[in-house]
Amino acid sequence: MTMKKILFALLTGWMAISFTACDDFLTETPSTSVPTEEALVTTQDFQNALNGVYYTLGSYRFLGRDVLAIGDAPTDITSHSVATSHFYDIFRYQILDTNSYIEEIWAYGYWAIDRCARIIKEGASFKEVTKGDLAEVEGCIAQAYAIKALCSFYLTNMFGLPYSEANKTTLGIVNVTEPVPAYSQVSRVSVEQNYSLILDDITKAKEYYAKEGVENVGKQYMNTAAVAALEARVKLYMKNYEGAITAAQEAITLSGGTIVSTKEDYKNMYTTLAVSTEDIFFIAKAEDDYLSANALNTLWNKYGLSINSATIAEYSSNDIRLALLGGTWTGGKMRGITTNNQISNLPVFRLPEMYLIQAEAYAKQATPDYGKAKEKLLEVAAKRNPDLNDNEIAEDQTVIDAIDKERKLELVQEGHRFFDARRLGKIISVADGAYTNFNIAKFVYPIPSFEVNSGFGVIQTEGWSDNLPR
């Protein structure tokens, strides 16, 4: 195992960062991007720069593994059998501010944010040659705003406390509105300010998508439905329930998708590379994708992470999801297709989440509509469990428990449980029950030591380690 140096275009410019890992790290700017010192002049320059952002987003050091793994590994739904393997320290909450996965998420998240900010800034001054050229650039800007908001959302919810009246004035992350010059001073702002910028970026993405000539993009990109889906998720986390309902409906309508109801169709979503009717936005993989060799597929298989038996027991015996999640099907959803790399597309937004957002929001809005909440819940639950008795779900406040359970069962292995448990204030057991009665809502990940020690103004979260499980 060797220590390698890598330069990242982070908040403070080009800064040397040391990582320790079993894998080779990227040692140069991806070939699909434009180096930071070069101007974005042509439409192809902007497209290349955006391709570089998606490359970063899909790396196993961000949404290709780390972020989604962080969302499940340290929660009450997992077991881990290999003490020397990946994410075992996260699973056991043996966490230091030098943890490589935390460093990777911070670095790659801000690398993507910085590049998006550059696309946005230089795109705003792009000199129109033809209407088509301008529309292409504006389409890149729309996606850049959306990706910037997405990355900021994940970073805020890892390194800041969950959004609430009590927490919104606490420190979140560094807001980035434009590329930060090298060696400039930066500082963390409040969680409330982070969310405000996230919503602003979502609004800007919508505005650019609405411009004349700007075309929508496919499900492997941050398309119009994905922007609405992100807005729905953000507003749910903010407890803006009316806004969450509206945004989720927009995502449902724009996606034009349907929820599958057979075992075969469900298996195909995760064991083929075909685009599913449930997909809104996913990280696209290919059979020759070398990054998958150390991604979620292997983490949930040979590297020892698994869904624990208690979680599997919560599924009804005829639930179609057990076609992937139970028995001898090692790896669960992440088993992937049968290639040397065992790869699969990785979902970021799917249609069922939108219905479950609506269900929760209807049940928790100022004037609850429990009937509507049940209706939206059944859009998912009834299609997954053919034995479901609708009469067992009451149209009163108890429907909230059914919605919480369905989110856990439906979104397992897709990086939601950690964030859901925090925002909902769950008291849970983690590390296979080694730690009980853990108030996960008080826990935040530490700012990586390389960032704090760089001297550019980012400070550590005071007392973060006091809230580790004991």
pLDDT band, very low/low/confident/very high, at 388 (cuts 50, 70, 90): very high
pLDDT of res. 337: 76
Q: Is the pLDDT of residue 8 over 70?
A: no
pLDDT band, very low/low/confident/very high, at 107 (cuts 50, 70, 90): very high
Mean pLDDT of all residues in the chain? 89
pLDDT of res. 328: 66
pLDDT of res. 302: 81
Q: Is the pLDDT of residue 400 over 80?
A: yes
pLDDT of res. 220: 97
Q: β-strand 427-430 against 346-350: which pairing, if any?
A: unpaired
Q: Is the pLDDT of residue 112 over 90?
A: yes
Contacts 24+ apart (CB under 8 A), 431-438: 431/74, 431/91, 431/92, 431/93, 431/469, 432/79, 432/80, 432/308, 434/92, 435/93, 435/469, 435/470, 438/469
Other Cβ atoms closer than 10 A to 361: 28
Averaged pLDDT for residues 108-114: 96
Question: Any residues with CB less than 8 A from the CB of 64 and at least 6 apart, and which?
Answer: 58, 283, 291, 292, 295, 296, 346
Question: Token pair of 254, please?
Answer: 């724009």
Buried b (16+ CB within 10 A) or exposed e, 16-30: ebebebeeeebeebe
Averaged pLDDT for residues 212-231: 98
pLDDT of res. 344: 83
pLDDT of res. 291: 52
> Which pTM was predicted?
0.92
Kindly report, residue by residue over 329-340, the tens digit of the pLDDT.
668 898 877 665
Kindly report, residue by residue over 327-372, the tens digit of the pLDDT.
766 688 988 776 656 778 899 999 999 999 999 999 999 999 999 9
Kindly report, residue by residue over 31-87, the tens digit of the pLDDT.
344 455 567 889 999 999 999 999 999 999 999 999 999 999 999 999 999 998 999
Residue with tokens 């793994």: 69
pLDDT band, very low/low/confident/very high, at 289 (cuts 50, 70, 90): low
Of 165-169, 178-182, 294-298, 449-453, the range with the lowest mean pLDDT is: 294-298
Measured CA to CA, the distance from residue 434 to residue 290 in angstroms comes to: 35
Tell me, which fold does domain 3-456 have in CATH? 1.25.40
pLDDT of res. 210: 98
Q: Is the pLDDT of residue 124 over 80?
A: yes
pLDDT of res. 37: 54
Averaged pLDDT for residues 414-427: 97
pLDDT of res. 341: 61
pLDDT of res. 243: 98
Buried b (16+ CB within 10 A) or exposed e, 309-334: eebbeebeeebbbbbbbbeeeebbbb
Give percent of the chain above pLDDT 90. Answer: 77
Averaged pLDDT for residues 302-323: 93
